[in-house]
Structure 1
Amino acid sequence: MHDFISPMELFGMTTLLHIDASARPGSSDTTAYGSHTRRLTARFVRQWVATQPGAKVIYRDVGMEPPPPVSGRWIHAAFTLEAAREAWMKEVLRVSDMLVDELLQADLIVAGVPMYNFGPPAQFKAYIDNIVRVGRTFGFDRSRAGDPYWPLLADAGKRLVILSSRGDHGYAEGQRLSDRNHVEASVRTAFAYIGVTDTHSLAVEYDEFGDRRLADSISQAEAAVDELVAALVRP
């Protein structure tokens, strides 16, 4: 049995959506106090483009330019049928529509999502709230038998890579702090809700220690990024 490779992947024409959510500017390999997740996402994208020369990359930095949070007006507009939306509603949804359009174009989403107080940054949560859109990424029909909600991207073949970082260590499944890790689980849940269920993740740990353990964790994460790229492009 062979993994399915789409025609776009076969000819190196995939579209990669690169998202950074860290509040830290710069990458930790080039900037003092720079971001580890920016370092990992940049490495992933470099490796991907090197193996897929025709790939298109869409970049979205929600860490530096966070989307507006959902408001009452946003909810009113999103749950109004498109044909009935007034001008103000279209303006309220303008950023959300742009983010959804980017997501719809992507075959692969690579998201740098550091752990802030056990969960994703608020900037990334705002991104999630803007792309989980009724009528665009999930369907809703209160008269539908069984579950009135369903994912609209389930057959799109999209894949998600979550690259994270943590101040402490032991957050992986089965480790001492796994019950406090609400980063990967929450991101996977939101994307699965809209139909993106093929997910991969890895993380840098020991950031707050800043010693050899951090350096080793970064080296291990970078090696894992290289291995993941190779696995995802393998025919």
Structure 2
Amino acid sequence: MSLLNIVSSPRGAKSVSISVANAFLDAYGKATPSIEIDTLNVWDENLPDFDSQAIGAKYKGVSEEPMDSAELSIWIRIQSLVKRFQQADRIVVGVPMWNFGYPYKLKQLIDLVSQRNMLFTFDGERYGPMLKIPRALVIYVRGQSHDRGAGISSPGFKHQADYIDFWLKFIGVDEVKSLMVEHTWDAKGPETIEQGKARAIAMAADF
């Protein structure tokens, strides 16, 4: 069984999302010794820009038109990234909150791999998922929270999780589990981080 571990924080050992994900992966590895973990770190992958050449390749790929050498090079890279999703039986994503959203490199990965007839279908009227992944875990890490104590009433906190959950279901994940680790910037930080790791370890038993 293969698990795709998507790392979207550039902070390495200082990252809360990485440390909580690692706690989960360690526990899941012990519970499922046969698991193979494929770590896709969006900061280390040298992801191609989703620029005019990538968009040109996208449209030519859908219409099955010939590509020039630059477009073909990008398209092959996109296919190699997509294959890692296609080979996954489980997905884990660590998502630190950046300006009420997610790191731009994670969005870059989503834009690259979310291709018609690769991760989803579209017949002109309806979309359909192409993956068959039973479940994914998304670990959301936030410096504050949307509760009254943080003084935030905007929909930004909800927007972050709603988008990632929708995207995973859109491409074919049946069940998306979420783990929120909040208040990591204030005095509660050490306590909430340890609680997050404990919850991650507990969730590994049923994943």
TM-score where L is the length of structure 1 = 0.78
User: 1:176 offset after TM fit, Å?
Assistant: 5.5
Instruction: Specify the code of the residue in structure 1 equivalent to 2:140.
Output: S
Superposed, 1:53-64 pairs within 5 Å as 53-64=33-44
1:100 aligns with 2:76: no
* Distance in 2 of aligned mates of 1:52 and 1:152: 26
Q: Secondary structure at the match of 2:155?
A: helix
* Distance in 2 of aligned mates of 1:228 and 1:178: 29
User: 1:208 offset after TM fit, Å?
Assistant: 2.1
| Equivalent residues of 2:97, 2:140 under 8 A apart | yes
Q: Per chain length, whose mean CA-contact separation is higher, i.e. which structure has more relative contact order (CA < 8 Å, sep 6+)? A: 2
Shift of the 183–197 alpha-carbon distance from structure 1 to 2, 3 Å rule, reads farther
Superposed, 1:183-194 pairs within 5 Å as 183-194=160-171
Instruction: Specify the code of the residue in structure 2 equivalent to 1:149.
Output: Y
Shift of the 186–177 alpha-carbon distance from structure 1 to 2, 3 Å rule, reads same
Deviations 1:28-82 (A, max 9, x none): xxxxxx0000101111111111111111111111134452332122122122247
Give the structure with the larger helix fraction.
Answer: 2
* Distance in 1 of aligned mates of 2:162 and 2:35: 28
| Equivalent residues of 1:160, 1:199 under 8 A apart | yes
Instruction: Specify the code of the residue in structure 2 equivalent to 1:19.
Output: I
Tell me what 1:30 maps to: none
User: 1:97 offset after TM fit, Å?
Assistant: 1.3
The CA RMSD over aligned residues, in Å, is 2.0
| Equivalent residues of 2:3, 2:88 under 8 A apart | yes
The correspondence for 2:183, drawn from 206, 209, 212, is: 206
The correspondence for 1:85, drawn from 56, 62, 66, is: 66
Tell me what 1:169 maps to: 145
Instruction: Specify the code of the residue in structure 1 equivalent to 2:138.
Output: I
* Distance in 2 of aligned mates of 1:62 and 1:165: 17
* Distance in 1 of aligned mates of 2:46 and 2:155: 28
Structure 2: stretches of 5+ with no match in the other structure: none
| Equivalent residues of 2:184, 2:193 under 8 A apart | no
* Distance in 2 of aligned mates of 1:178 and 1:202: 21
* Distance in 2 of aligned mates of 1:18 and 1:118: 22
Percentage identity across paired residues of the two chains: 26
1:71 aligns with 2:47: no
Shift of the 99–201 alpha-carbon distance from structure 1 to 2, 3 Å rule, reads same
Give the structure with the larger strand fraction.
Answer: 2
Moved over 4 A (4+): 175-178
Q: Secondary structure at the match of 1:93?
A: helix
Tell me what 1:49 maps to: 29
| Equivalent residues of 1:109, 1:158 under 8 A apart | no
1:127 aligns with 2:109: yes
